[in-house]
């Protein structure tokens, strides 16, 4: 029988805290970088009242191998979070299952007290029993524990966006969402979102509680959730693509994306993120990395601009390959 991490990991193992100084940057330069990010990517109002720059940061990769345990380079992970904020990121996505607990703990250590405009989204509903092992658990009592522990780890009184990580096929969705709705009424959750769901599941969930975001796997080479994206556009929901960078044959050396990236002096990753920003105004890409160099590269994707004709040609080529 698999164990549930919110029960198993209430008491975190003792670890040596690496003390590092938070980056000291000139306030004017920080404002300039944030302005550049805003102008390049545009903004989106989560739930209509939380305005964020569309290019965010996904905090899954600041854990150990298999999204399990502490990161190989803990000091670098803390610097990545701080550097993302310096570059104008004000939307960070995490989950209690990343580590588990590790990602949320690192976010609090690196960034608390938080900038006033920072929006932190987290998720609950996955149990972990080892590296690369995930099991959906949507029992209300389990989710209640997960929310309380995330509040404690993140050192906040209210979670800006809490997402049901997966709908548990063994538990009616309205029961899982009902538990989150209770926290929303109590002022401990501001907004509620879903992850890996269909249009029908979003519509059904909306009968229990207002849904303001959807997080599904999506990128230029994997567009299976195009219908979900269109639904989000129609209902002004944020669409947060996980695994936002294209992969497979399309991204290989000599492939369609590689050739286009070279023409624009960009990487395949940058081109993938730039396409997401271009493709829909409700898309909030959250590329993740455990490297300061890569987080800088990812944020620089906001400066990559192709003409509508060039994007159309790339989309046509990718669709032809996929077909």
Is 218 annotated as catalytic?
no
For 35, phi and psi rounded to 5 degrees? -65, -40
The rounded distance, in Å, linking the Cα atoms of 42 and 53 is 6
Instruction: Count the Cβ atoms, other than its own, within 10 Å of residue 204.
Output: 16
Can you tell me the distance from the alpha carbon of 150 to that of 109, in angstroms, rounded to the nearest whole number? 14
How far is it, in rounded angstroms, from Cα 67 to Cα 24?
30
Coil, strand, or helix at residue 81? Answer: helix
Q: Which residue has the tokens 């599941």?
A: 201
Residue pair 77/290 in contact (Cβ under 8 Å)? The answer is: yes
Burial class of residue 69, CB neighbours in 10 A (0-12, 13-18, 19+): middle
Tokens of 102: 């590790």
Mapping DSSP to helix (H, G, I), strand (E, B) and coil, where does residue 108 land? Answer: helix
- Tallying the residues shown for the chain, one arrives at 323
Which entry of 57, 98, 142, 218 is annotated as an active-site residue?
Answer: 98
Exposure pattern of 144-173 as b/e (b: 16+ CB <10 Å)? bbbbebbbebbebeebbbbbbbbbbeebeb
**Cα–Cα distance list, 302 to 61, 104, 285, 286, 312 (Å):** 21, 26, 11, 12, 19
Task: Find, among 110, 100, 93, 35, the residue nearest to 64 by Cα.
Answer: 100
Q: Round to whole Å and give the CA distance between 159 and 120.
A: 7
Q: How far apart are CA 253 and CA 42, in angstroms?
A: 31
CB 105 within 8 A of CB 153: yes
Would you please indicate which residues are annotated as catalytic (active-site) residues? 98
């Amino acid at each position: 029988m698999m164990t549930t991490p919110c029960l198993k990991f209430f008491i975190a193992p003792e670890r040596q805290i690496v003390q590092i100084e938070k980056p000291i940057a000139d306030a004017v330069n920080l404002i300039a970088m944030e302005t550049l990010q805003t102008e390049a990517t545009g903004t989106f109002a989560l739930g209509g009242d939380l305005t964020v720059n569309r290019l965010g940061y996904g905090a899954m990769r600041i854990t150990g191998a298999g999204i399990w345990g502490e990161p190989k380079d803990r000091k670098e992970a803390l610097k990545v979070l701080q550097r993302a904020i310096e570059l104008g990121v004000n939307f960070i996505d995490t989950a209690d299952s990343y580590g588990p607990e590790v990602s949320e703990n690192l976010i609090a250590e690196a960034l608390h007290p938080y900038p006033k405009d920072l929006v932190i989204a987290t998720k609950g509903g996955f149990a972990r029993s080892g590296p690369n092992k995930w099991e959906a658990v949507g029992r209300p009592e389990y989710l209640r524990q997960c929310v309380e522990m995330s509040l404690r780890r993140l050192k906040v009184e209210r979670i800006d966006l809490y997402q049901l990580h997966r709908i548990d096929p063994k538990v009616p969705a309205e029961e899982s969402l009902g538990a989150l709705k209770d926290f929303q009424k109590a002022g401990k959750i501001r907004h509620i979102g879903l992850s890996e769901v269909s249009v029908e599941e979003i519509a059904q969930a909306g009968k229990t509680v207002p849904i303001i975001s959807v997080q599904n796997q999506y990128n230029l080479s994997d567009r299976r959730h195009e219908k979900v994206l269109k639904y989000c556009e129609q209902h002004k929901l944020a669409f947060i693509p996980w695994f936002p960078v294209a992969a497979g044959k399309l991204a290989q050396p000599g492939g369609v994306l590689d050739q286009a990236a070279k023409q624009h002096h960009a990487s395949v990753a940058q081109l993938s993120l730039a396409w997401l920003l271009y493709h829909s105004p409700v898309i909030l890409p959250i590329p993740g990395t455990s490297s300061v160099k890569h987080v800088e590269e990812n944020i620089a994707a906001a400066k990559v601009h192709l003409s509508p004709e060039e994007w159309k040609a790339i989309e046509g080529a990718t669709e032809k390959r996929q077909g």
